[in-house]
Amino acid sequence: MTELGVGSGTFAPQEEQDEGATAAERLLRAVEALDASADAQLPEYLVAHDTFEAIWRDEVSFLFAPAGGGKSAFRARLAQACRAGEGGRRVFPIVYMLPESVVLAGESERLDAHLREIRRAAASELFLHLAHRPYEFLDLDDAAKQTVRRLLEQSLPQPLDHLLEQLGPYGGLNPEARLRALAEPYDPGAVWLNPPSEESLAKFRTAVAETPLSKPAEAPRDSLEPWLNLLLSTLHFEAVYLLVDGVDAYPETISNPGYALALIKPLLDQAGRWRERRLFVKAFLPIETKSAIQQAYPLLTSRKNTVIIRWTRSLLAELLRRRVAAATGTEPASLDMISEPGFRGVDLRVVNAVEPLPREVLAFTSRMLHEMQQRTGGTGRLSREDFEAALRWYRRDRHRERS
Amino acid sequence: MSRGKAPTETKTREPLGIAAFGSLRAEDEPWLAQCYVKPPDFALMTCWRSILVFGDEGAGKTALGLALERAWAPPGQPPKALVVRWPFAIVEDESLKGTRLVVAYRDQVLDAVARAVVDYVLRFPPDWGQLPPWVGRTLAWFLQRFLRGDLKDHLESLWGKFGEQSPGWLRNALAGPVPDVVSPSAPPSEVAGEIIKALKALGLEGIRVIVDNLEAWHEADPTLLTDHLESFLNALTEFWHPRFVYAFMAPSELDSKDWSAGSVSRRRVDVYRLEWRAMDLEAMMERRLALAFGEESFPLSKLGPAERLMNWLSRCGGQSPRGWLRMLAPFVVRFLNKAAETGQMTPLTEEECIAIQSESAPRLSIDPMTDAVFVGWRKVSDIQPADLELLKYLYQRRGELCPRWAVLREYLSITGQLFRADDPKSERLLDQPIYRLKQAIEPDPDHPVFIKTVRGRGYRLDNAW
């Protein structure tokens, strides 16, 4: 990649300016979605490492943040750490977005609804995990293979045969793209390193399809025990993390955060017992629920188990710089590198202009890049004019919300 | 002004005449694509993001919806995405609240998606032999599960439309047994994901749902619509998929709602206001004129004195495309008549334009609740409080001759001044407020169409509702 003159005080000639515009376009595409949890580049730019370290350990964790404050980003980051085996660890993540069926269930049915949906999410994760790591399935003995197949058959949201078919070639998509399409409904940002070859994926398909169904085990269907046995004993994961998110995604919980506690109470009631079985609840919750949860669960929510995300301007500027670096492949990076010579300190200008939340920073940046595209047809550099236009948009946008 | 240039075409078009200014309903204008001017944020609106576009009546919401549809499904080409027109209908079951209400709306959406799938398969029959079997099975399952109404009715309708030519796959999909592709109790995001996977295998990028009939529901029950729309938007996460997005065209009255909670503040949904700059509106008029006269371009100056016309349009049409089109139409009619009489297309003169302005004056109205003053489609915002009171006095007596002394007495009362018979200045106290009012409300203060001075007698407010 061509050096764009960041920090060197020089500015690129025409060819490099073109490359700068390309970097801007790449960045615009990257920040367009505004949804960090669906962003495969997340680990490259999510800062606040102490927050991550606090939840990346075998303990029940509560992470509280305001809307737009990065709850889902940290949830996605944790899931990616598990999938990538960061630190040489082998942790099985279950991405558990509070499902509609739990919201619709009566109080007495809520725990069963949770368990059913957790098994469903676990099955999706396991299917995707094994499809990415076929040898883990192929190396199992017959009894273990049968157990895997039975649990998948019982809990996957789709028929297993249907999913196996989708692993096969279609539409000119390579194995990675087909697996990404399979993962999207479960966890849109999910990334597994080193996707399998066409050949090993085909072997996995055949092996699963040829595995006979075993008789159901004796454990009650409404428990997680068969799953924990499989994951911890048979597949040798050292722990299972249940990543609870999406609690504030319903009309009921948006208007009444207290109701959110009622919905996840059955999970929190089990959290102590599950911890003994190395299943650790990791709850990513709106800040509005914090006091109610701390009051109801004082032991679970001890100081070391609770993280509150607090964004400072300098942290946000760092996040923005890393976002630029991840999108453009340039290190170190800054919005300055795609800005006009007379317009400097853009990262700080952006974070000082908006509410101190990652989503707001990215929304403002996206708008500013769009203004530049409109003004220059996409070949120019960010200018003060683009910043001012984005600022007008932002102020009006915020004003509308609060008026 | 590059956005103002008419689309380049090599051949002269068949002139539409005044029909180009006739219906003013986007859905009735098949030529709209030829003269459409995109709003400034159009490129952003076409991203894979859900959007909520607020616009006044006549601001071009329907035209925008059609333009978005053209961007995603260009006419005559295979679409890039499955474009779904959701005929939104208020769920009137009062027992449904919160998530249950959202589920009811989602059923409407999925029914609309199913209908769009049927339409797509009919228009672009897939080569099923080249596709893996799960694609057809997924689509068939989706139709059987989410197409509302009696499947037999749908089948009969297909037979009625296509007879023996009715595609066999579709007949089988609607009639034959299909296994569940997604468990009935699975989260809705799995449903979205499954149908999108199948659509991707057909070469589509995802699903774009357009909603453009909220105005009628807003007129019927604004509170209910606002509450239900908010619930639906707030629950988008649950039915969220990066390739399943919505474009809501909403009346601007909804913009006054506090959207500080939920999907809007969380930026799950991007909000836009459909507002037009004068240069955009001018470009729209010029493109319409080009269509009307069958020419590649037709600047306003070919119709008449451009400055006068622009002044008239901006002072009577506000920021509304419909307003500008309506206010320009009488000039086009006169221009056509004149061309027919003389056999030449010569621009209208100043005098002719002034005459048209007088004959086709917009209406002045005052909202009794808010005191907002409207001239045609323009909301007048620069009237001083005392002048507004004076205008209201005249408005209450619109069409009547108001004696000068009575108007003066009213104005003195409004401003708390005393009339002094010995002071000749008192006689002239009305001159300034009447002048200011004319400057504020008259399209052309030198040729007033609202405040008429009847020499030696008083004032009359004309063309007011």
pLDDT in tens, A178-224: 999 899 888 888 889 899 999 999 999 999 999 998 766 555 556 89
Classify burial at A196, counting beta carbons within 10 Å of its beta carbon; exposed 0-12, middle 13-18, buried 19 or more. Answer: buried
The torsion angle over the Cα atoms of residues B125, B131, B132 and B135, rounded to 10 degrees, is -30
Q: How many residues does chain B have?
A: 465
Task: Residue window 341-360, chain B: list those with CB within 8 Å of chain A.
Answer: none
Name the packing angle between helices A110-132 and A142-155 (round to 10°): 130
Residue among A101, A250, A374 whose CB faces B185 most closely:
A101
Two tokens at B250?
């909403």
E strand residue ranges, B303-383: 364-366, 373-375, 378-380
A5: pLDDT strictly greater than 50:
no
What is the share, in percent, of chain A residues with pLDDT greater than 70?
Answer: 86
Taking alpha carbons only, the member of B395, B402, B401 closest to residue B463 is B395
List of chain A residues whose C-beta atoms are within 8 Å of the C-beta of residue B262: 251, 254
Q: Are B173 and B136 in contact (CB under 8 A)?
A: yes
Q: How large is the average pLDDT for residues A158-174?
A: 91
Q: Are B322 and B58 in contact (CB under 8 A)?
A: yes
Contact B137 A162 (CB under 8 A): yes
Residue among B183, B231, B266 whose CB faces A68 most closely:
B266
| Closest CA in chain A for residue B132 | A170
pLDDT of the residue at A42: 65
Name the packing angle between helices B222-234 and B98-123 (round to 10°): 80
Q: What is the pLDDT along chain B (465 residues), one digit of tens a residue?
A: 333 344 444 345 688 888 888 766 777 788 888 889 999 889 889 988 899 999 998 899 999 999 999 999 998 889 999 999 999 999 999 899 888 999 999 999 999 999 999 889 888 888 888 899 999 999 999 999 998 887 777 777 777 776 666 577 888 888 888 889 998 888 888 899 999 999 999 999 999 999 998 999 999 999 999 989 988 888 776 667 888 999 999 999 888 776 665 677 778 888 899 989 999 999 999 999 999 998 989 999 999 999 999 999 999 999 999 999 999 999 999 999 999 999 999 999 999 999 999 999 999 999 999 999 999 999 998 899 999 999 999 999 999 999 998 999 899 889 888 777 667 776 688 899 999 999 999 999 999 999 999 988 999 999 998
List of chain B residues whose C-beta atoms are within 8 Å of the C-beta of residue A117: 187
Q: Which of the residues A184, A287, A368 would you substitute to probe the B interface, choosing the one with the greatest number of B C-beta atoms within 10 Å? A: A184
Indicate the domain borders of chain B.
40-273, 278-359, 364-461
Report the C-alpha gap between A145 and A130 in whole angstroms: 11
Close Cβ partners of A391 (under 8 Å, ≥ 6 residues apart): A353
Which helix (H) or strand (E) covers residue A96, if one does? strand A91-97
Residue among A165, A254, A402 whose CB faces B234 most closely:
A254
Indicate if the alpha-carbon torsion angle A121, A127, A131, A134 is positive or negative.
positive
Classify burial at A178, counting beta carbons within 10 Å of its beta carbon; exposed 0-12, middle 13-18, buried 19 or more. Answer: buried
Q: What HEC string does B241-269 produce?
A: ECCEEEEEEEEHHHHHCCCCCCCCCCCCE
Two tokens at B451?
């405040």
Q: Which of the residues A153, A170, A222, A402 would you substitute to probe the B interface, choosing the one with the greatest number of B C-beta atoms within 10 Å? A: A170
Cα B315 to Cα A159, B319, B461, distances in angstroms: 64, 9, 18
Q: Are B246 and B212 in contact (CB under 8 A)?
A: no
Q: Are B322 and B22 in contact (CB under 8 A)?
A: no
A1: pLDDT strictly greater than 60:
no
What's the DSSP call for residue A215? P
Q: Chain A contact for B271, CB < 8 A?
A: yes
Q: Phi and psi for B460 in degrees, rounded to 5? A: -135, 135
Contact A188 B241 (CB under 8 A): yes
Q: How confident is the model at residue A264 (pLDDT cuts 50, 70, 90)?
A: very high
pLDDT of the residue at B261: 59
Model confidence over A119-155: pLDDT tens digits?
999 999 999 999 999 999 999 999 999 999 999 999 9
Task: Residue window 51-90, chain B: list those with CB within 8 Å of chain A.
Answer: none
Q: Chain A contact for B454, CB < 8 A?
A: no
Gyration radius from chain B CA atoms: 28
Report the C-alpha gap between A146 and A276 in whole angstroms: 27
DSSP output for B157-223:
HHHHHHGGGS-HHHHHHHHS----SS-TTS-HHHHHHHHHHHHHHTT---EEEEE--HHHHHHH-HH
Report the C-alpha gap between B315 and B212 in whole angstroms: 28
pLDDT of the residue at B437: 96
SS3 content of chain B, % helix, strand, coil (to 5): 50, 10, 35
Q: Chain A contact for B265, CB < 8 A?
A: yes
| Closest CA in chain B for residue A368 | B44
Residue among A181, A251, A370 whose CB faces B102 most closely:
A251
List of chain B residues whose C-beta atoms are within 8 Å of the C-beta of residue A70: none
What's the DSSP call for residue A301? T
Q: Are B211 and B249 in contact (CB under 8 A)?
A: yes
Contact B188 A100 (CB under 8 A): yes
List of chain B residues whose C-beta atoms are within 8 Å of the C-beta of residue A67: 265-266
Q: Phi and psi for A278 in degrees, rounded to 5? A: 65, 25
Q: Is the domain B364-461 a CATH 1.10.10.10 member?
A: yes
Q: Which of the residues A75, A100, A174, A252 would you substitute to probe the B interface, choosing the one with the greatest number of B C-beta atoms within 10 Å? A: A100
Q: How far out from the chain centre does Cα A208 lie?
A: 28
Report the C-alpha gap between B229 and B214 in whole angstroms: 10
List of chain B residues whose C-beta atoms are within 8 Å of the C-beta of residue A38: 242
pLDDT of the residue at B43: 87
Contact A97 B187 (CB under 8 A): yes
CA distance A100 to chain B (A): 7
Q: Are A117 and A242 in contact (CB under 8 A)?
A: no
Which range, of A28-32, A258-262, A360-364, averages the lowest pLDDT? A28-32
| Closest CA in chain A for residue B183 | A157
Contact A68 B267 (CB under 8 A): yes
Q: Are B379 and B318 in contact (CB under 8 A)?
A: yes
Contact A181 B200 (CB under 8 A): yes
Q: What is the ipTM of this complex?
A: 0.85
A403: pLDDT strictly greater than 60:
no
What is the share, in percent, of chain A residues with pLDDT greater than 90?
Answer: 60
